[in-house]
């Protein structure tokens, strides 16, 4: 397959790091940037790691204030298409996703950035669901695909959190193809 344009993946928060560790080998990108508190473990494809400390569960406000300079530089200077991946509703991924959205609005070529996000199911509580909905709504003017894990549920049976996560992972893989 010949591609004209380079494609880069940037993951924000713990979920994105975990997703990259599990599925990195299946993904067709020219570079990977992982922003998280902990480095991806046991993966032998190249990536750049940007350390981002997690203060507490709902540290969105901190995350907004402390967007790493290196992340800004990458967003400004990387050539080609950039996909931003995060699971919304909690601190790091949620806060950075919102901030990246704001930064992108100052760019002339906003279309080369694509946002992909999953939002937590009601099972995880009202608060993260509301936070996630708010942030996704805020980015609707940008190039964004976001889904609530509740909407991926099939049938009426009991769903464990792991089942939601699996559906979410499958949905993301499809978006990143
Ligand atoms: N689809 C999916 N979601 C997950 C998985 N692990 C955690 N999550 C969810 O990802 C969301 C964000 O959590 P997390 O990434 O830890 O927060 P952050 O690091 O503060 O951004 C929460 O709703 C988690 O329950 C997983 O393996 N797959
Ligand atoms: Mg985290």
Whole-prediction pTM: 0.94
Question: So what's the pLDDT on residue 59?
Answer: 64
pLDDT per residue as tens digits for the range 37-95: 999 999 999 999 999 988 665 566 666 668 899 999 999 999 999 999 999 999 889 99
- The rounded distance, in Å, linking the Cα atoms of 116 and 81 is 13
**Mutate-to-test residue for ligand 1 from 14, 36, 167, highest number of ligand atoms within 8 A of CB:** 14
**128-148 tens-digit pLDDT:** 999 999 999 999 999 999 999
pLDDT in the model for residue 28: 96
> What's the confidence (pLDDT) of residue 158?
85
Q: Is the CB of 89 under 6 A from ligand 1?
A: yes
Whether 29 contacts 9, CB under 8 Å: yes
Rounded distance between C-alpha atoms, residue 124 and residue 58, angstroms: 13
Ligand with smallest separation from the Cα of 87:
1
- To test the ligand 1 pocket, which listed residue (11, 13, 15, 55) has its Cβ within 8 A of the most ligand atoms? 15
Give distance in angstroms: CA of 88 to centre of ligand 1: 8
Contact 13, 35 (CB under 8 A): yes
- Listing from the earlier edge strand, what are the strands of the sheet with 113-119? 48-51, 31-36, 7-12, 81-87, 113-119, 144-148
CATH number of 7-176: 3.40.50.1440
| Per-residue CA distances from 116 to 13, 44, 155 (Å) | 13, 24, 25
Q: Give the closest ligand to the alpha carbon of residue 86.
A: 1
The pLDDT of 83-110, averaged and rounded, is 93
% of the chain with per-residue pLDDT over 90: 82
| pLDDT score of 1 | 46
**How far is it, in rounded angstroms, from Cα 31 to Cα 121?**
30
Contacts of 2 (CB under 8 A, 6+ apart): none
Question: Residue ranges of the domains in the chain?
Answer: 7-176
């Amino acid at each position: 397959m010949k591609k004209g344009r380079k494609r880069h993946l940037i993951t924000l928060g713990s979920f994105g790091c975990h997703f990259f560790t599990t599925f990195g080998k299946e993904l067709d990108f020219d570079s990977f940037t992982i922003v998280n508190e902990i480095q991806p473990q046991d993966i032998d494809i190249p990536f750049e790691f940007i350390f981002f400390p997690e203060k507490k569960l709902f540290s969105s406000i901190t995350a907004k204030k402390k967007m790493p300079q290196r992340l800004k530089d990458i967003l400004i200077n990387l050539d080609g298409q950039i996909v931003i991946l995060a699971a919304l509703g909690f601190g790091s991924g949620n806060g950075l996703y919102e901030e990246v959205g704001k930064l992108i609005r100052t760019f002339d070529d906003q279309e080369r950035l694509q946002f992909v996000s999953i939002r937590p199911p009601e099972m995880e509580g009202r608060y993260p669901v509301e936070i996630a909905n708010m942030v996704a709504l805020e980015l609707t003017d940008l190039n964004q695909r976001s889904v609530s894990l509740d909407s991926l549920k099939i049938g009426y049976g009991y769903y464990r959190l792991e089942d939601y996560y699996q559906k979410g992972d499958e949905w993301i893989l499809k978006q990143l193809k």
